[in-house]
Amino acid sequence: VAATLALLALIIGLAVGLTRRSSTQNLPLPSANGGPYTGDLTYYAPGLGACGITSQNGDSIVAVSHIIFDAVSVSSNPNLDPLCGKMIRVRKDGKSLDLKVVDRCVGCAARDLDITEDTFAKLADVALGRVKVEWSWLESVPGGASGGG
């Protein structure tokens, strides 16, 4: 009975570990295959972002999903996140913008992005509030970051 319980615990532990690892590998993280991804684009009023940078409306910045921001975290200090300062190219209807990661978006799904209202207006009608875009990383994440994939 003890051997059966130990075996069962081992199987469950492996399953949980494999599930967590595979979900990280499926995230849209910067790598050799850093896109293109499709997600929702929304806008917000920027200020002091998670990377410790204060931004204003119209700045060429982007907040990435908290899911991917946290997946590569190497410190409890979000200013040190490896995604801070990385560049993303966003495309919509033949238009593209290059944006710098300065924040994390807690309301975003893994492939969603949040930008300033004035920047959103360069890609779509602000009245829409949410549009589908294609985006890609322009740089790889540093090798020391966890969750690379």
Q: Which residues pair with 96 in a beta bridge?
A: 91
Which residues fall within 8 angstroms of residue 124, CB to CB, at 6 or more apart? Answer: 41, 92, 93, 131
For 31-42, b/e burial (b = at least 16 CB within 10 A) is: eeebbebebebb
d(CA 83, CA 103): 9
d(CA 100, CA 103): 9
- How high does pLDDT run on average in the chain? 85
Is the pLDDT at 71 greater than 60, yes or no? Answer: yes
Separation in Å, CA 111 to CA 41, 46, 53, 81, 142: 9, 20, 22, 18, 20
pLDDT tens column, 18-69: 444 444 557 887 775 678 999 999 999 999 999 999 999 989 999 999 999 9
The radius of gyration of the chain from alpha carbons, rounded to an integer in Å, stands at 18
pLDDT value of residue 140: 67
CA atoms within 13 A on the CB side of 136: 10
pLDDT value of residue 4: 76
